[in-house]
Amino acid sequence: MIRLHEILKRDGVNSELKQVISHIMIACKEISHKLGQGDLAGILGSSVTENVQGETQKLLDVVSNDLLKKILVEDNCVKGIASEEEDYTVAGTESGKYLVLFDPLDGSSNIDVNLSVGTIFSILEAPDDSRQGDDQTIYLQNGRKQVAAGYVLYGPSAILVLTTGKGVNFFTLDRHIGEFVLTREQVKIPADTKEFAINMSNQRFWEDGMKSYINDCLAGETGPLAKRYNMRWVASMVAEVHRILVRGGIFMYPWDNREPNKPGKLRLMYEGNPMSMIVEQAGGLSTTGREHIMDVTPEGIHQRCPVMLGSKNEVEKAMGYLKD
């Protein structure tokens, strides 16, 4: 049984970054516990508040955000945090070395129906200057600057998927000892796939290239792509990406014309960048459909972006439709 801290030590992760990851896991264990209790913990249903995106928050959105926020701002290695659920960034310890960005509960619309949700996090080095942790400009680094990224999937078991730039490993929460232990090492995404994930209810709003790609997938063996595809949709990015890491696939949340001025639905800093680091460390590809997500220069902490990620050959194939 190899525990998380042993893998971090083996991979040469410094003590400050190990401490930050450890504190994130403390909060995630508590979130997992509350999810396991469901109605018994009084965390189902919606709150009376909206987040900065104008979305009604689930009760567990608020609880999860507060847990992560409290533990991280008290960590002396964290200069500041940014959350999908917070209007503004929050200062931590002035001398802290790291910035932590997170989506406290991805897929929260699944909570009340007892389906998979997750916590996504991204860790950046704080600039070596005198700016405070609540200065939003210090967070506006592209995804290549991430020193670690991961998510915890809360399903039948709680699984941590983590990269510190040396591949992707899976850790499963052993509830008897209260720790995450290594269960799969150096995970790789198959380059080819016959499985795609997309919200088909938005099809009429997509650009023509995306419509053509999906139509060709649906045409099966007799269509231009000459193979039968399966479609999946869980409405939780964590669950979609985890399936791709386990058996391959392509996940897409493309630009659509409902709100033309918004480049996509998913958030670059809280979802796009950390998931891109994980996918590319596992040998996959993650793009906006036209460029690598981690090469996008962020202009705001709540910036959105289109997402197309997964099995490398399939992502490149889908990108070709958009270029055409």
Binding residue ranges for Mg(2+): 84, 103, 105-106, 271
Instruction: Estimate to the nearest angstrom the gap between the alpha carbon of 144 and the chain centroid.
Output: 15
Q: What is the pairing mode between strands 285-287 and 307-310?
A: antiparallel
Please report how many Cα atoms fall inside a 13 Å half-sphere around the Cα of residue 299, on the Cβ side.
Answer: 4
Contact of 101 with 149, CB cutoff 8 Å: no
Which residues participate in the annotated binding site for substrate? 106-109, 199, 265
Q: What is the pairing mode between strands 195-197 and 230-232?
A: parallel
Which residues participate in the annotated binding site? 84, 103, 105-109, 199, 265, 271
Q: What is the pairing mode between strands 179-184 and 169-174?
A: antiparallel
Among 139, 175, 165, 205, CA closest to 12: 165
